């Protein structure tokens, strides 16, 4: 952390806090760090509400390493409330109207989305770059918005009381150091958040019994009628991304990856093909080595606190979901929608640095939902790990009977439905505070 030269309490004049040695100082109401789904949605909503927002992003383009690509019906509803759904549907995407997987070759339907109590009975599968670019474009229509790509936040500017008054960053395009002074800094900079670390907030990571290796194959390489396969030989998940690509994940036990790599890439290809022999040719043709794969270290976590004076963290920076149920994006978008309302109110009802007392309501509102989702994911991860360890010993005939029973009715049982619906619809009480919009 960089201490501001002139100390001040929340509410004092921000212009007194120029941090030393910055080539350039920008001033804004809200500095959002990180242009992922959380940061991009929040920036757009704040800009549209007449708030001055500076969005700072480390990457020079919208391309990102593998990121979540699932947008559940709950997010589709929120996109509509934000007036961006039409824009989003213009981009390359696929829609999914039924959740289904294959269990030892038997198709099991988990959820038909049109049975859900929603006007949006479908999930979207799409990659993040085009979506993020569109959100930034939409935010750019408002005067108070500025976007700084290729700019890495390196530290927080704080006063003697620990209140956050801005960030320091390195603008690689301009080759200069920047200080961004703000009444509120939002850390939306992902699971390895610099903002969280600089604020000394513990990420609260949990152990995970499973990891996932991702790779991309051409559409058509896998039966598109399901999103996953559980076989004696292992577990695969797969989703079409709309642009002709198929994202495939191979599930493994936590810590198993070094041994898999040591056994060589041919052996890995063999493992994948053993789960689904139909995929073998596509794997041979399209994957040439481990460089064509990405390990997602599934370590969920919930940070100790999400707010300080002048600071709020959200999305993966505040809590890391596992990929089970594709909840990372929905949680980040819901966070942004709730944070938008709280921050606009906090700016209106305070002066200078926004005090924590005005931001705490964000955390009080979101923490129970996040804890519930992550607890559910952790139970599912334990079940999958058990399957990886012991699935082979279960006679296939027994599995087929179980699959048939599950398919016939268990998925529609109240308890199972409630869990599945909460993954699909998210927190239905979260709605966009459109009353803040200036146009």
Nearest distance from residue 294's CB to ligand FAD, in Å? Answer: 7
Nearest distance from residue 148's CB to ligand FAD, in Å? Answer: 9
- Cβ nearer to ligand FAD, comparing 155 with 270: 155
The distance from CA 112 to its chain's CA centroid, rounded to whole angstroms, is 24
Q: Would you count residue 315 as binding ligand FAD (CB under 6 A)?
A: yes
| Run of H or E residues at 245 | strand 245-253
Among 8, 10, 70, 310, binds ligand FAD (CB under 6 A): 70
Residues 291-310 within binding reach of ligand FAD (CB under 6 A): 296
Among 12, 109, 146, 152, binds ligand FAD (CB under 6 A): 152
Q: Would you count residue 329 as binding ligand FAD (CB under 6 A)?
A: yes
CA–CA dist 395, 416 (Å, integer): 25
Question: Distances in Å between the alpha carbon of 50 and those of 119, 306, 325, 388?
Answer: 30, 24, 35, 52
- Cβ nearer to ligand FAD, comparing 10 with 426: 426
Q: Would you count residue 316 as binding ligand FAD (CB under 6 A)?
A: yes
- Cβ nearer to ligand FAD, comparing 34 with 301: 34
- Cβ nearer to ligand FAD, comparing 11 with 129: 129
- Cβ nearer to ligand FAD, comparing 64 with 417: 64
User: Quick one: residue 146, left, alpha or beta (phi over 0 = left, psi -120 to 50 = alpha)?
Assistant: beta
- Cβ nearer to ligand FAD, comparing 173 with 281: 173
Ordered alpha helix ranges (H), 199-355: 257-262, 265-275, 280-286, 328-348
- Cβ nearer to ligand FAD, comparing 8 with 327: 327
Residues 259-278 within binding reach of ligand FAD (CB under 6 A): none
- Cβ nearer to ligand FAD, comparing 39 with 166: 39
Burial 232-255 (b: 16+ CB within 10 A, else e): ebbbbbbbbbbeebbbbbbbbbee
Look up tokens 């999400």; give the residue.
Answer: 306
Dihedral (CA of 345, 349, 353, 356) sign: negative
In sequence order, the β-bridge partners of residue 313 are 187
Residues in contact with ligand FAD, total (CB under 6 A)? 35
Site string for ligand FAD, 26-65 (x = CB under 6 A): -------xxxxxxx----------------xxxx----xx
CA–CA dist 186, 28 (Å, integer): 12
Residues 159-198 within binding reach of ligand FAD (CB under 6 A): 188-191, 194
* Whether 213 contacts 289, CB under 8 Å: no
Nearest distance from residue 381's CB to ligand FAD, in Å? Answer: 14
CA–CA dist 287, 152 (Å, integer): 32
Q: At what angle do helices 414-425 and 73-81 cross, to 10 degrees?
A: 40
| Run of H or E residues at 217 | strand 210-218
CA distance between the termini of the chain: 38
Nearest distance from residue 132's CB to ligand FAD, in Å? Answer: 8
- Cβ nearer to ligand FAD, comparing 16 with 245: 245
Q: Would you count residue 214 as binding ligand FAD (CB under 6 A)?
A: yes
Q: Would you count residue 323 as binding ligand FAD (CB under 6 A)?
A: yes
Q: Would you count residue 326 as binding ligand FAD (CB under 6 A)?
A: yes
Interface residues with ligand FAD (CB under 6 A)? 33-39, 56-59, 64-68, 70, 152-153, 188-191, 194, 214, 296, 315-317, 321, 323, 326, 328-329, 332
């Amino acid at each position: 952390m960089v201490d501001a030269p002139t100390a001040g309490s929340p509410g004092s004049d921000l212009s007194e806090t120029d941090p030393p040695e910055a080539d350039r100082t920008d001033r804004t109401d809200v500095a959002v760090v990180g242009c992922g789904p959380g940061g991009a949605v929040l920036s757009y909503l704040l800009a549209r509400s007449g708030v001055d927002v500076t969005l700072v992003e480390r990457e020079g383009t919208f391309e990102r390493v593998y990121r979540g690509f699932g947008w559940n019906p709950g997010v589709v509803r929120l996109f509509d409330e934000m007036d961006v759904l039409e824009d989003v549907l213009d981009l390359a995407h696929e829609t999914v109207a039924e959740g289904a997987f294959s269990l030892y070759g038997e198709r099991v339907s988990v959820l038909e989305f049109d049975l859900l109590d929603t006007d949006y009975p479908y999930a979207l599968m799409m990659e993040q770059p085009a979506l993020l670019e569109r959100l930034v474009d939409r935010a750019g229509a408002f005067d108070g918005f500025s976007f700084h790509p290729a700019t890495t936040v390196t530290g927080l500017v704080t006063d003697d009381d620990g209140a956050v008054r801005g960030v320091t960053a390195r603008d690689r395009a301009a080759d200069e150091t920047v200080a961004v002074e703000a009444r509120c800094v939002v850390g939306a900079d992902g699971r390895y958040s610099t903002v969280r670390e600089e604020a000394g907030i513990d990420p609260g990571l949990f152990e995970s019994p499973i990891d996932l290796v991702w790779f991309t194959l051409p559409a058509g390489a896998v039966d598109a009628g399901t999103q996953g396969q559980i076989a004696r030989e292992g577990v695969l998940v797969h989703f079409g991304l709309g642009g002709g690509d198929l994202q495939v994940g191979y599930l493994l036990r936590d810590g198993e990856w070094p041994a898999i790599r040591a056994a060589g890439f041919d052996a890995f290809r063999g493992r994948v093909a053993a789960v689904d022999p139909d995929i073998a040719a596509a794997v041979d043709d399209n994957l040439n080595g481990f460089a064509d794969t990405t390990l997602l270290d599934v370590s969920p976590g919930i940070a100790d606190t999400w707010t300080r004076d002048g600071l709020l963290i959200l999305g993966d920076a505040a809590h890391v979901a596992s990929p089970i149920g594709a909840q990372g994006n929905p949680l980040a978008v819901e966070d942004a929608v709730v944070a938008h309302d709280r921050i606009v109110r906090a700016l209106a009802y305070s002066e200078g640095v926004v005090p924590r007392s005005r931001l705490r309501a964000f955390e009080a509102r979101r923490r129970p939902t996040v804890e519930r989702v992550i607890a559910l994911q952790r139970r599912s991860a334990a079940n999958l790990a058990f399957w990886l360890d012991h699935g082979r010993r279960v006679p296939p005939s027994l599995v087929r009977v179980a699959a048939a029973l599950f398919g016939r009715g268990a998925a529609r049982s109240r308890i199972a439905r409630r869990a599945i619906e909460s993954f699909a619809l998210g927190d239905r009480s979260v709605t966009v505070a459109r009353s803040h919009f200036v146009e």
